[in-house]
Each structure stands twice: as C-alpha cells, then as structure tokens.
Amino acid sequence: MSDDDAGGDPAARDPADPPVALAAYEALADDYAAKAPTKPYNADLERPATRSLLPPVEGLDTLDAGCGPGITTEELHEAGARRVVGADVSPRMLEHARDRVGDRADLVRLDMGRPLPVADDSFDLVHSSLAVTYVREWDALFSEFARVLRPGGVLVFSTQHPFDDATRLEPADYFAVEEVTETWDGFGDPVDVTFFRRPLEVTLNALLGAGFRLEAVEEAKPTERFRERRPDAYDRVRRRPPFLCLRASLPGVPDQ
C-alpha cells in the first residue's frame, strides 16, 4: 500500500486503528528483549552510531521515545541523566523495560502517531532509536518533539536509511511515502512488520519545518566487533548503510 501525500493531519487516523507495528512488536517483544542487547545489527551497528551523537546527558531530563525493552533507557540513567522517561506503544515491550530498569526510570505507554501526552518544555533531550519509521506523519511528530523540548533542547534519533530502503525495496516512486510490510526472521519466528518508507527530503524537511537545526549526521558504520560476529554481512553494510542517525537542536540556551 502506498500514500503519495507526505503531509496530512494525524487526527485523521481512525481512533480504532492501532499503530502499524503494534501487533508485530507485541509478538516480537520476548525474543527482541532477549536478543537485541547483543544482536550485531543493534549492538554493533545502530546503537553505537546513534550513541555517538548524544550530548553529555548528566543532569538532563530525557525522553526515550520508542524505548522498546529499555536498553538505552537504562544507559541514559547510568550516564547520569536527572530524569529518564521511557515510552513505548507496546505493553509487552514496556514489561521488559520494567524488568530492566526497575524504578530507575518512569515508563509510560505512548503512541508517537498522536499528540504526545506530555507538557510543553518538559525535556532537555529526546532520544529515539529506530522507532520513528513506524509513524506516518513526521511533520506532526517532529513538531511534538519540538514542543516537549526546552529551548536549546536536543533530538537524537535513528531511522532506516532512505538509500538502503530504496535499493532493497525498489519503489515505483522514490519520492512517495509508502507503507511497506516486510517479514523479519532475525528475532525468532517470522513476523510481518509494517513501516513507512520515505525519501531523504521528507526526513530533513520535517526536522527543519519543526524549527530544529540539524547538527550532525551519521550513516551507521559497522564496528570491528560487527565484522567479527557477522563477516557475511560486514561488506554489505559497510558499502550500503542500513541506518541513518541524526542530531538536531532547538534555538535557545539550555537551562543550567
């Protein structure tokens, strides 16, 4: 299924419609929580690249949007964040996050495809690892991230690389924003996962349109440990990065 309109009103989504990947991640949650902490594509490719863009987090109020089983939620706490909120749409993922972080972080269920139930100017940092790809309306999502961040606040997120998606999926129209379903078998039993493929310009323009200043871009490169653990995939991901990681900030001076 495809949708050529890159804009739109998130309120137009039928309230009865679940988030596109909710069922998939409920099914994946147990295996994902067990494997993602050490799985090479996560531990030795995406997370190091995204982590490299984080500012010093000591003393910051942070939102881990799409926290999954709480891997980065825990890391943000251990790095000295003043307050960490982990948010995810999957109740089962949040159960695993609770097992991991206990009471060291606030955990809430949150659908990033709708207005965030968070007060303005609540956070200094929003982190999101491979979660925004499941949200159709990026203009609305990044505007919400800007709203909940304080002046000078930072957004660090990763998503699927538009080049890799376009090469792998061979879309009829690169510039369309398309709903795509692929079958994943890397976390256990095969699961159909739906996400949105979009061109690079949508990513950048959504950020800029929400008032963010783009500060850094990292096209995730495999680590030496990835090469040791997945020599069969190393050359491919080195030549064609599967993940795009970005850091952007809002104008203003952060609170001291």
Residue-level pLDDT at 9: 40
CA separation for the pair 247, 106 (Å, rounded): 24
Residue 60 structure tokens: 């910051």
Q: What is the pLDDT of residues 137-193, one digit of tens each?
A: 999 999 999 999 999 999 999 999 999 999 999 999 999 999 999 999 989 899 999
Q: Do the beta carbons of residue 84 and residue 105 sit within 8 Å?
A: yes
pTM: 0.92
Q: For the sheet containing 177-184, what is the strand order?
A: 2-3, 177-184, 191-197
Q: Do the beta carbons of residue 139 and residue 209 sit within 8 Å?
A: yes
Residue-level pLDDT at 57: 98
* CA end-to-end span of the chain: 47
Domains of the chain: 36-162+199-249 (3.40.50.150)
DSSP-based three-state secondary structure for 255: coil
Residue-level pLDDT at 7: 36
CA separation for the pair 31, 193 (Å, rounded): 15
> Which residue positions in the chain have pLDDT lower than 70?
1-16, 254-256
Residue-level pLDDT at 1: 31
Residue-level pLDDT at 255: 63
